[in-house]
A and B are shown apart, each in its own frame.
Chain A
Amino acid sequence: MNTSGSTPAAFRRPSDWTKHLFILLLLGIELLPLYMMVQVSLKDNAAFIRNPWLPSSPADWQWENWVHAARLVLPYVSNSLFVAVTGTMLTLALALAGAYFFARSRLPFSRLLWAAFMVLMMLPGIANIVPLFSLLKEMSLLNTLYALVLVGVAGGQAFNLFVLRGFIEDLPRDLFEAAEIDGAGHFQQLVHVVVPMSASILGTLAILAFLNKWNEFLLPLIILRDRELFTIGVGLIYLDGEYVKQWGQIMAAYLFAALPLLILFAFTMRLFVRGLSQGAIKG
C-alpha cells in the first residue's frame, strides 16, 4: 500500500504483526476463563472429561445446567445487586459532597480532615477487621446486608474523595462565580454546576465502585450467616464446597454471577474505557 518507504509509519510497519501476536496471545489467555465458563456450562461431566477444550455440538447442550444454576444463584445475585447499587450510589453521593467541601474552601481544620481521609488510602485496614466484627455485633448489624453497604461506603470514601476533589478543583471558576451571582448556595452549586459537569468521571468511578462491591467476599463471608442473605461471593464459596463433581452446573452458576456485569458493561463499556483512557483517574 505505502511504497514511499521513508515515512516513520513505514519504518515501524514490518514488525507490527509480532506486536499483534504478542497482544493477542496475552489477551487470549486472559479471555480463557470466560470461554471455559460459557462452553463448560453447557456440558455434563462425561462430555467435559471426554473433551474439556472444545464446545460440544449444540444438540448436546445441557440447558438444565443453566436452569439449575439460575434457581440456585439468582437470589444471591439479587442480594449482591442491592448491596452494590445502594453502596455505589451512597459512596459517590457522600464523596462528591465531601470533595466539594475540600475543593471549594479552605476552612479551619480542612487540611487536618483531608489528611485524616488520605491516611486511610495508604494505610492498611488489616487491623480493623476483628474489631469491626465486634462493632457490627454491638450495633446488631451482624448478618444484615446494611452492614455491607455501610462498611463499603466508608471504605470507598478516601479514593473517591481524592479523585473528585482534583476534578472539582479543575472546573472553571467562572462557573461557580456566575452561579453565586445568581444567588445559588453551595448545595445548589453542587447540584447544578458540579454534577452536570462530572457525569463522565462519576460514571467511571461508579463502575469501579460497583465492580469492587461485586467482587467483595471476605466481609460477607465473615458477617453473613443466613443463606437467604448470601451475596454472590459467599454463595459461590459455599457452592465450591458443595458441588465438587458437577462442573457444568458450577460454570453455569459462575456465568449467572457474571450476568449483571455483562449487562452493565454492555451499556457502559464505551464510557468506562474512555474514562480510564483519558487518564481520568491518575492516582
Chain B
Amino acid sequence: MKPPASRSSPAAAFREWRLYLFVLPSLFLVALFAYFPAASAIYHSLFDWQGGEAKQYVAWANFNRAWSDRVLWDSFVTVAFLVGFNLVKMLPSIALAVVIHRLRSERWQYLYRVLLVVPMLVPGLVTLFIWKFYLDPNLGLLNRLLDATGLKAALVGLDRLAGWGVFAEGVPIGWLSQPQLVLPSLFLWGFPWIGAVGVLIYLAGLQAIGTEVYEAAELDGIGPVGKFFYIELPLILTQVRLNLTLLIISTLQGYGLQLLLLGDTGGPGGRGMTPGLWMYNRAFIAGEFGYACAIGLILFGFILALSLVNNRYVRTRR
C-alpha cells in the first residue's frame, strides 16, 4: 500500500474539498438507486402495501406469514440444490483453463483464448432461449440426440427397474413440463458450463508458473493430478474462492433463468420456484408489495449471514 497523497485531517479536507466533487456523482446515484430502495424495503416490509399510496401498518405480520409459507420454504430447498449444481458447474472452467495452460504451443493457447470469447457474442438471453429450444420435447435436439444414440431406450429401461414413472417408450421427454425433470433440466442447462471470463482470469493466474516449476515437478515424479493440486490450484485459489462467493450469492438471489424457462409460477409443480422468483411473483403478479419486501429481506439476511461466515472462514488473499 502506497502512502496516501494527503493525510486524513480536517485541514486536508478544507484544502482539498474539490476532490469530494469527484466521488459525488457516483455517491448520489448509489444512494438514490441502491441505499434508498434498501431502506424503503425495510420500512415497507412492515406494511400491507399494494405498491400505491395506500398502505397499512401490520408490524411483523408479513414475516409471520413468511414463516408459515410452504412455498417459500420449498423454494429455499430448491435453491440449495441449485447452489450444489453450480458448485459442480465451476469445475469444467477450471479444468479447461488448466488444460489450455498445459498446452506447449503458445499459438494454440492464444487461438483457444479467442475461441473461448466467441460464444459471448451470443447474448445471454439468446443462449437461454436456444437452450429452451434444445429441451423442447418434439423438436428439441436433446430428445433427438437421446433417440438417435439409443440412450432413450436405456433411460426407459432404467425407469422400469427403478419405477420412477418418468420416461416411457414412444412418449417424448418433457424436460420442462414434467415436475420430476425440472431440477435435472436446470442441472443440465448450459452444459458444458464454461464461463469464458472465468477461464481467461484463471489462465492469467496460471501464467505466473514458470516452466522450471514443471520441470522440477517432473523430476520429482509428480503426475498430472499432483501438478494440479501442488502447482496450479494454489495459484488460482483466490480467484476460485471469489468466484465461488459471487456464484453462491447470485444463485441464491437469481430468478431470471427460472422466470423465462418455467414462468412466474416456477413451472410444473412449482419445482423451479426460487425465493427470488417467489418475491417477483408476490410483487408483480399478486400485487403484494409489502410481503414481497419481507421475502426480499429474509433472503437478504440469509445471504448476509452466509457472506459473513464465508468472510470469516474462507479468507481471500488481497
Q: Identify the A interface with B (CB < 8 A).
A: 8-9, 11-13, 16, 19-20, 22-23, 26-27, 29-31, 33-34, 36-37, 48-49, 52-53, 94-95, 97-98, 100-102, 104-108, 110-111, 113, 116-117, 120, 122-135, 137, 150-151, 153-155, 157-158, 161, 169, 173, 176, 185-186, 190, 208, 211, 214-215, 217-218, 222, 232-233, 236-237, 240, 247, 250, 254, 257-258, 261-262, 265, 269, 272-273, 276-279, 281-283
Q: Return the chain A residue nearest B203 by Cβ.
A: A277
Chain B residues closer than 8 Å to A262, beta-carbon distance: 121
Range class of the B interface residue count: 35 or more
Residues from 92 to 131 in B contacting A, C-beta threshold 8 Å: 92, 96, 99-100, 102-104, 108, 110, 112-127, 129-131
Which of B30, B124, B204, B252 contacts A124, CB < 8 Å?
Answer: B252
Identify 14 residue pairs between A and B in the complex whose beta-carbon atoms are under 8 Å apart, listed by A's number: A22-B99, A37-B122, A52-B139, A101-B23, A105-B16, A113-B23, A124-B303, A127-B300, A128-B34, A132-B33, A157-B30, A218-B255, A273-B117, A276-B201
Which of A26, A124, A281 contacts B300, CB < 8 Å?
Answer: A124
In the complex, the answer to whether A126 meets B122 with C-beta atoms within 8 Å is no
Chain B residues closer than 8 Å to A98, beta-carbon distance: 22-23, 25-27
Q: Return the chain A residue nearest B212 by Cβ.
A: A8
The winner among A22, A122, A124, A250 for most chain B CB atoms within 10 A is A124
Give per-residue flags for B70-107: 1 if the beta carbon is below 8 A from chain A beta carbons, else 0: 00000000000000000000001000100110111000
In the complex, the answer to whether A107 meets B123 with C-beta atoms within 8 Å is no
In the complex, the answer to whether B126 meets A29 with C-beta atoms within 8 Å is no
Which of A123, A151, A161 contacts B26, CB < 8 Å?
Answer: A161
Chain A residues closer than 8 Å to B204, beta-carbon distance: 276-279, 282
Q: Return the chain B residue nearest A104 by Cβ.
A: B5
Smallest Cβ distance from B196 to chain A, in angstroms?
8
In the complex, the answer to whether B4 meets A153 with C-beta atoms within 8 Å is no
In the complex, the answer to whether B218 meets A125 with C-beta atoms within 8 Å is no
Chain B residues closer than 8 Å to A30, beta-carbon distance: 116, 119, 192, 194
Q: A26-B96, A101-B19 are in contact. Are A37 and B126 (CB under 8 A)?
A: yes
In the complex, the answer to whether B40 meets A135 with C-beta atoms within 8 Å is yes
Which of B18, B104, B144, B242 contacts A283, CB < 8 Å?
Answer: B242
Q: A23-B100, A161-B26 are in contact. Are A33 and B122 (CB under 8 A)?
A: yes
In the complex, the answer to whether B9 meets A108 with C-beta atoms within 8 Å is yes
Chain A residues closer than 8 Å to B123, beta-carbon distance: 214-215, 232-233, 254, 257-258, 261
Given known contacts A98-B22, A104-B5, what 8 new A-B pairs fall within 8 Å (CB)?
A23-B96, A33-B126, A105-B6, A116-B30, A124-B249, A222-B284, A254-B126, A257-B126
Q: A150 vs B253: C-alpha distance in the bound complex, in angstroms?
A: 22
Q: A250 vs B41: C-alpha distance in the bound complex, in angstroms?
A: 39
Q: A117 vs B16: C-alpha distance in the bound complex, in angstroms?
A: 21
Chain A residues closer than 8 Å to B245, beta-carbon distance: 122
